[in-house]
Structure 1
Amino acid sequence: MTDLASRIQSLYEQVVTEVERAVAQYPVRQGEKSRNNLLAYHALQKHPINDLEMLLKERGLSSVRESLPHIMYTLQKIMENLGVHFLPPSHLSALSPFEARLISRIRTDLALGNIVGGRHTRIMVTLDSRMLDQPSIMDHLLINGMEIARINCAHDHPDIWESLIQMVRESEQRLHIPCKIYMDLAGPKVRLGAFHKEKKPLKIQVPTDLSGKWKEVSGFLDLSAPESKVMKGIDGQNTFVLAVRNKDMFKEAQKGDDIFFRDVKNRPRTLKIDECVSHSRMKVTVDQTSLIDEHVVFQHKAGKFSIHSINPSPVDIKVKRGDILRLYLNEARPGHAATEHEPAGVPVTLPKAFQNVLPDDRIFIDDGKINGIVHQVQKDFIDVKIHFPTIGYAKVKEGKGINLPDSLVDLNVPAITEKDFQDLPFIAKHADMVGISFVHRPNDLIKLRKELEHLSADNITVIAKIETKSAFQHLARIMIEGLNFQRFAVMIARGDLVIETGPEHLSHIQDEILAMCTAAHIPVIWATGILERLTKKGIPARSEITDASYGKRADAVMLNKGPYIIQSVKLLDRLLQSGDEFISGSPYRQAWHQPGLFIPSFRKKLPVRQHM
């Protein structure tokens, strides 16, 4: 026997021994072959094989690294080609490439639905409640490639969710294009609480073009509006609703009329009536930025009027590098700006998430736009010394998320909250898929499975969102537990994951997750930040084009909401189809799409605190 044959046989025997030892520790009700192959992948990672790979390549033999879906089968075939015909007895069955492809294809189609067209990767689109004002948008999304519609239960309420789902179903029937409904459980997201409120003038911001000329902003005067407000429409443009009471003006107003006023800064401004929509609502435009409050007097030929019901807004709270931001552990205490005697302070939701916080722990706010180090921990508050932004100020906003990557949040906060349990009956009735946010350990999936069985919804697809450090560290066990579901998938939720693990680790981590999903024949969803600039601003960044193209390694790619979502779906559809000749005929992700998979040491670099 040659030295190469001997080394391959030794490697095979060690992998088989480790898998056999682990099988009893991780029982599954189904998916035994996938579990065994995932265990083989982990066993293989413990052994340095770089030089073996080079020797195999020189002999024209298969690469072990490129055979993730059928590891033991590949090792057996390599030995057979090297003249090793007597293998140690084992009760483990080795999956062939054909079996691995079949299992992967069946499991992916069951979990995510059959795909239409020439792509191998599905497109998931996050729905926005503002889409309810644009009934045709769902048709455009389906026509241009959306196969999965996502609703995030952290936002809005069941009435809005049901209306969005109805829009999808009506477009489905009208166009005969199938679409799955995916609903995310809100999960235990730690957020900033409410701030003190104060009355501020409404600011109607009118942008300028490249030449500096003012553009127009349209809005409405409304007799029945409950409040006056400024907001962004689904198209991303500013709009406004001004609540008024002057019925006589509505009776006499005509298209083209001007309404004159001086804003809060005493600047002359004009509203032009574009359309009398109804007896109580008219569309108007303004061509200059204006500050308006309830004391501003509007002058129309039919008489004078003012607006009403401007709701108080949160106070402005800003921080810069070196400031102290106080986090109140009493959610009822409203946020306030810094004073001469105390730093700016804001309340937090889920105070129990802070039970293990220690000095020098890192804290990230608003997806990392603000971050700092814990300065001191007191019974009622935690002081954070701000490190970022490094230049200028950052605005602290109500409701923004908080990440505590060093503070063992999962020990005190369950992945499934009381709100999630309340939302599950609706989800079980209306959705095809449910996502469990902030999953930490296999037990989180067990709790969800029991609740779904109680609701007679155990055939719904369950998607484990990997977005915390603890989820990644327990990923193999989470995936093995996931095999007990009839339909299961994994989502790489890169937004929170990059904060939890550090940006320097994200590339390795997402590749590792993709590799493990390939080995376990579990479909994977590539999420967060895909074509984000295009979706929000209308112009894609060069780097996100490459990032979106990498989505071909996954079974689905998720787009977040934004005013240019249709353009993003169109571009993503083209990107996912281009180059498919390289992977045609392969229903699972090829290992050669996974650079740097076999770098087992990078996990050790993650900042991990030992459990006490």
Structure 2
Amino acid sequence: MDTPSTRESGEIASLLTDVAALRTAVLSEAKAFLADWDALESAAPGVENLARYLALRHHDLRPLQRRLMRLGLSSLGRLESRVLETLDAVAGALSALAGGDKPPIASEAGFFAGEARLASAGDDLFGPPPATRRTRIMVTLPSEAAGDPGLVIDLARRGMDVARINCAHDGSVAWLAMASHVRTASELFGRRITVLMDIAGPKIRTEAVATPDKKARLEAGARLRLCAAGAPRVDADVAFAATVSLPELVLRLSVGDRVLYDDGKLQAVAESLTEGEAILRVVRTKTGGAKLKPEKGLNLPDTALGLSPLTTKDEADLDAVITCADMIGYSFVSRPEDIDMLETALARRGAAARRLGLVAKIERPEAIRNLPRLIARAAAGRRPFGVMIARGDLAAEIGFERLAEMQEEILWICEAAHVPAIWATQVLEDLVKTGVPSRGEMTDAAMAARAECVMLNKGPEIGMALDVLETLLARMEGHLAKKTPTLRPLRSW
């Protein structure tokens, strides 16, 4: 066997030194993250790996990656669930190439232990996936599901693994009926179908509105008055007005703060503020303008609202959630203290609440910044935990142009922490609503196969969308697992 040239030997030795130095730095820097998360002494394996991953990603690895790729070694690009194991494997390969002592090699089970923990966490939270695909399918139940058990059974027959009940709609009687139909379907098909109930959180919406006429639309340059209380007031200068569901929205705005309406169909900026009112100037709308309507969502990405994610309504709804659900969806969670608040509320309800899984909905910039802290705090609770990438509100909050980048990063963070993720909002939306998908949404749905669960919203063609997604996810299973391509045989050429 030919030995490497002197030049090659020097490069391999240099690489080995660099990888060893990186490993040392990662271990040292990870301790700072664990200390910040109050997890230095008792971190779960996933939290410990997450700290190492974040430490690693604070380094620019691109030059090192290219040098490793040239030698046919791992480029470190797929180590989310196994940071130290991958660094050690690369160091071992380099040592062997250099002709040095071959260090012990981790067993296959040891190397892929992070993947196994993630799979187990997904099973605990959602239930086991079907044999044909790793990614579960969640479906938001419509209101009519309460009175139509056949609808729920049909969804289960087509592949629904998780039923979502939105507590912003209907009431406890309807929720109990929906959950009962899900249990019946689960028994009928002989597999575990779980129930997620989303508590509403502080709804930030328009209420009463005033417009010049029914056909009037807000265009760029128009002015809009938001009122904290009372009837919406229009005048010669401001022809559109709306009251809001949360007075704090108006009271905490500052001049220059952005306000987005109806999932970003309109963007405005606070122009002036008076007691109990804010005048906004519209800077962008969808083509043709936007109608001002009641019960439309508002997002304030620049404004610190200081709202509790657990409202009085949510507290009351928890009793029904404990009775009906397998897991609870937590809206507007942003800080570790928000996890503590919910845990305290659940603890007051005794042993029945201990079995509930928890899903943190990531929908605001603060939640993104605090995601590692949220994961570390939730891990301390020892209940099944997952993260929902709530892409509707998230896009409005951080900007549509950043969404694609951010949803990838959230997937990486969750994989590093061995936390299952839900890919949510507008998946196959055109297909669900009209029966005909767009090309772009088919690609989006295919990429959802990297999450542990993908959520479909309700709509008239939800059954057809389930059929398509079931097939699509099963096919994509043969091509990728997370960031790793799986090279099944190609049949098209």
When normalised by structure 2's length, the TM-score is 0.88
1:158 aligned to 153, 168, 172, which one? 172
Q: Which residue of 1 is the match for residue 6 of structure 2?
A: none
**Post-superposition offset of 1:531:** 0.3
Alpha-carbon shift at residue 476 of structure 1 (Å): 1.1
Provide the C-alpha distance between the structure 1 equivalents of 2:72 and 2:218, rounded to a whole number of angstroms: 61
Distance 2:21 2:42 in 1: 30
Residue 360 (1) aligns with residue 266 (2):
no
Secondary structure, counterpart of 1:435 in structure 2: strand
Is 2:372 aligned against 1:476? yes
Query: C-alpha distance in 1, partners of 2:166/2:143?
Result: 10
Number of the residue aligned with 2:309: 415
AA paired with 1:538?
Answer: G
Question: Aligned equivalents of 1:569 and 1:451: distance in 2?
Answer: 35
In the alignment, residue 365 of structure 1 is paired with which amino acid? Y
Native 8 Å contact 1:317 1:397 kept in 2: no
Q: Secondary structure at the match of 1:398?
A: coil
Deviation at 1:318? 3.7
Paired amino acid for 1:71: V
Structure 2 Cα separation of the partners of residues 12 and 170 of structure 1: 52
Aligned equivalents of 2:283, 2:403: Cα separation in 1: 21
> Are the structure 2 counterparts of residues 380 and 21 from structure 1 closer, same or farther at C-alpha, using a change threshold of 3 Å?
closer
* 1:12 matches 2:35: no
Per-residue deviation, 1:518: 0.8
1: distance between equivalents of 2:258 and 2:325? 37
**Aligned 8 A contact 1:124 1:557 in 2:** yes
Kindly tell me: are residues 160 and 51 of structure 1, through their superposed partners in 2, closer, same or farther at Cα, counting changes over 3 Å?
A: same
Shift of 1:61: 1.8
**3-state SS, counterpart of residue 136 of structure 1:** helix
Q: Which residue of 1 aligns with 2:243?
A: 347
Aligned-pair CA distance for 1:57: 1.4
Partner of 2:46: 34
SS in 2 for 1:194: strand
2:475 equivalent to 1:461: no
Name the structure with the higher strand share: 1
**Equivalent of 1:63 in 75, 88, 95:** 75
Instruction: Quote the offset at 1:104 in angstroms.
Output: 1.4
Answer whether contact 1:353 1:413 (CA < 8 A) is retained: no
How far is the alpha carbon of 1:76 from its aligned partner?
1.7
User: What TM-score, normalized by structure 1, do the two folds share?
Assistant: 0.72
Q: How much identity, in percent, do the aligned residues show?
A: 33
| Aligned twin of 1:570 | 467
Paired position in structure 1 for 2:331: 437
What is the rounded CA distance, in whole Å, between the counterparts of 2:476 and 2:150 in structure 1? 31
1:392 to partner: Cα distance: 3.5
CA contact (8 A) 1:375 1:384 kept: yes
Deviations 1:93-133 (A, max 9, x none): xx932321221121110011111231100000000112345
State the 1:320 CA deviation. Answer: 2.3
For 2:183 and 2:232, how far apart are their aligned partners in 1?
42
SS across alignment from 1:539: coil
Q: Does 1:185 align with 2:191?
A: no
**Which one of 124, 127, 138 corresponds to residue 141 of structure 2?**
127
Matched with 1:320 is 219
> Helix, strand or coil for the counterpart of 1:120?
coil
Q: What is the CA-CA distance between 1:342 and the residue it aligns to? A: 4.6
Helix, strand or coil at the partner of 1:439: coil
CA displacement at 1:343 relative to structure 2: 2.7
Candidates 329, 332, 342, aligned match of 2:228: 329
Q: Which residue of 1 aligns with 2:36?
A: 25
Q: What per-residue deviation string (whole Å, max 9, x for no partner) do you get for residues 370-400 of structure 1?
A: 2211111111200111123365442111111
- In the alignment of these two chains, the number of paired residues is 461
Matches within 5 A, 1:184-203: 184-195=198-209
Quote the residue 2:187 is aligned against.
173
Match of 2:269 among 364, 370, 373: 373
- The answer as to 2:103 corresponding to 1:78 is no
Cα separation, 1, equivalents of 2:160 and 2:322: 22
CA contact 1:318–1:396 (8 Å) conserved in 2: yes
Whether the aligned pair in 2 keeps the contact of 1:185 and 1:420 (CA below 8 Å) is yes
Worse-superposed segment, 165-174 or 188-197: 188-197
User: Matches of 1:55 and 1:96 in 2, distance apart?
Assistant: 26
CA-CA distance at 1:166 after TM superposition? 2.0
Q: Structure 2 CA distance, aligned partners of 1:590 and 1:96?
A: 20
CA distance, structure 2, for counterparts of residue 476 and residue 544 of structure 1: 29
Structure 1 distance, partners of 2:287, 2:89, is 59
One-letter amino acid matched to 2:126: L
Tell me how far 1:469 sits from its aligned partner. Answer: 0.8
The residue identity in structure 2 corresponding to 1:480 is A
Residue aligning to 2:346: 452
Give the 3 Å change call, closer, same or farther, for CA 158–494 of structure 1 in structure 2. same
163, 166, 177: which one pairs with 1:149? 163
Residues 1:517 and 2:411 are matched in the alignment: no
Q: Which residue of 1 aligns with 2:7?
A: none
Measure how far apart 1:339 and its partner are.
4.7
Deviation at 1:427, TM superposition (A): 0.4
Paired with 2:410 and 2:242, the residues of 1 have a C-alpha distance of 36
